[in-house]
Amino acid sequence: MPKEYDLVVIGGGIGGYSGAIKAAKAGLNVALVERDLIGGTCLNRGCIPTKAYLKSAQAIREFEGISEFGIETDAKYNVKFLKVKQRKEEIVGNLRNGVQSLIKMNKIDYFQGEGSVLGTSIFTPKSGSVMIKPQGDADEIILTPKNVLIATGSRPASLPNIPVDEKNILTSNGILELEKLPKSIAIIGGGVIGVEWASLLHWMGVDVSIIEFQDRLIINESQKVSAQLKKEFEKQGIKIHLSTKVESVVIKDGLTKVTAEAGDKKIEIDSEKVLMAVGRRPNVEDIGLEAANVDFDKHGIKVNEYYQTSAENIYAVGDVIPTLQLAHVAAAESELAIDKILEKNVVPLEYENIPRGIYTYPEIASVGITDGSDGHEGKAKHGQFDFKFNGKSMIMNESIGQVEVFSDKDSDDLIGVSIVGPHATDLISEPSLGIYLNATPGELGSTVHPHPSLSEVIMEAARDVDSNSLNK
């Protein structure tokens, strides 16, 4: 007899386990199904492990600049990459254990195996029953939930003419399994994943080239920020090829040769490894969507503003739907989906007000409209303050970058903030709250900020919107 649940969640990443925990805390009977490692891509192969590597890269950069702080040393450093990897795995393991503890503590039934939704039949009269194929030879399990939450995430995309072998031509999955740093690498793709890996590998001593089809890096950020990152990368020694189309990758004697076209010019880049960083694809295959009459296409599962699919008792969140592919977005979506299941009053998510972070050196973060417009046809009011004029930045020897504040000309409400510089991904939370609360630059600028602190740059940039900055 199939076991009945209020909710079955397919996918144990941040979107899946966040929804499962929220539902269980609200008193629902919940099951969670995961075919791989609990925690999903972000915890195991994305956000957390790459940021652990980036911290090691930061330590190298700070050691190389230690003489700026009046500390002279004849010591040399060696990057023990296996130790770097071991540290990363310990962090990931501790966090994964924490998620498992939360699942157990909230009395969520956990199933390891392939989960898929079923259509109606004599055995499953209600669309949305879930079949689990456990690993090994164990019998299939059928669960009959009132509601289903699909959070199966995404996987690395590749180019059709370039076969990924995860040995010479790597994805963001395979590169995390390396036990030895390559001497050189060609990164195909200048989006967030590509530039973060470029930054951390460069500071670990790898010769890095980026090949990007578009005419600039990080295409979702403003042209000013894209140009700024390119300038800083090139100053550091990272080679960048924009408006360049990759034609082929040939592997010979354990090395790779990338052949590409830049306009009417052919270029060849020799490197030890190639990293494919051309985006991610939603995991919509083999989870029963057709049988359950759930609409989807190559971009993901189609949902309404409450994350209901065409089958109203089946919800979908995270990378498997065509919204922002960010871990915190998946978590927020799942919480709203659970609120809808609980029949609460749900206010749809405003995606334009969700902060974005890029963990390069320098760090980049933004929220809202940062292209200089007000989102309609008008030009936004603009204020800026540079980190090089900030006392805490000088103390830290981190003078690259600035804060830009944008506000609507008519309402004076904050509509966007862009930060390039130290701790940008932490600082962006204050402007995000300001936008959420419909604050004005005047209100942000009149809030007393601690001194000396990096946050004063936000205050000064907000004041500069009306030419009221005291230190500019």
**What HEC string does 126-169 produce?**
CCCCEEEEECCCCCCEEEEEEEEEECCCEEECCCCCCCCCCCCE
Split at pLDDT 50, 70, 90, the class of 124 is low
Closest CA to 316 of 155, 157, 153: 153
**Homologous superfamily, domain 362-464:** FAD/NAD-linked reductase, C-terminal dimerisation domain (3.30.390.30)
| Positions of CATH 3.50.50.60 in the chain | 3-155+281-341, 169-278
Q: How far apart are CA 291 and CA 281, in angstroms?
A: 21
Instruction: Give the pLDDT of residue 75.
Output: 85
**What are the φ/ψ torsions at residue 154 (nearest 5 degrees)?**
-145, 175
Instruction: Give the pLDDT of residue 128.
Output: 77
451 versus 139: the higher-pLDDT residue is 451
Q: Summarize the confidence of residues 99-115 as an average pLDDT.
A: 97
Q: Summarize the confidence of residues 302-325 as an average pLDDT.
A: 97
257-274 pLDDT tens trace: 999 999 999 999 999 999
Q: Does residue 341 register a pLDDT over 80?
A: yes
| Positions of CATH 3.30.390.30 in the chain | 362-464
Which H helix or E strand runs over 329? helix 327-341
Output b/e per residue, 299-329; b: 16+ Cβ within 10 A. ebbebeebbbbebebbbbbbbbbebbbbbbb
**Homologous superfamily, domain 169-278:** FAD/NAD(P)-binding domain (3.50.50.60)
Can you give the pTM of this predicted structure? 0.95
Q: Does residue 113 register a pLDDT over 90?
A: yes
Strand 364-368 with 381-386, pairing: unpaired
Q: Is the dihedral of CA 49, 50, 55, 57 positive or negative?
A: positive
Burial of 162 (0-12, 13-18, 19+ CB in 10 A): middle
Split at pLDDT 50, 70, 90, the class of 136 is confident
Split at pLDDT 50, 70, 90, the class of 127 is low
Instruction: Give the pLDDT of residue 119.
Output: 83
Split at pLDDT 50, 70, 90, the class of 4 is confident
Residue 327 backbone zone (phi > 0: left; psi -120 to 50: alpha; other: beta): alpha
Q: What contacts 24+ positions apart, CB below 8 Å, involve 230-235? A: 232/361, 232/362, 232/400, 233/195, 233/198, 233/199, 233/202, 233/360
Split at pLDDT 50, 70, 90, the class of 137 is confident
Two tokens, residue 76: 């040399």
For tokens 């490197």, what's the residue? 271
CATH topology of domain 3-155+281-341: FAD/NAD(P)-binding domain (3.50.50)
Cite the active site residues.
Answer: 451
Split at pLDDT 50, 70, 90, the class of 374 is confident
Instruction: Give the pLDDT of residue 304.
Output: 98
Which H helix or E strand runs over 258? strand 255-262
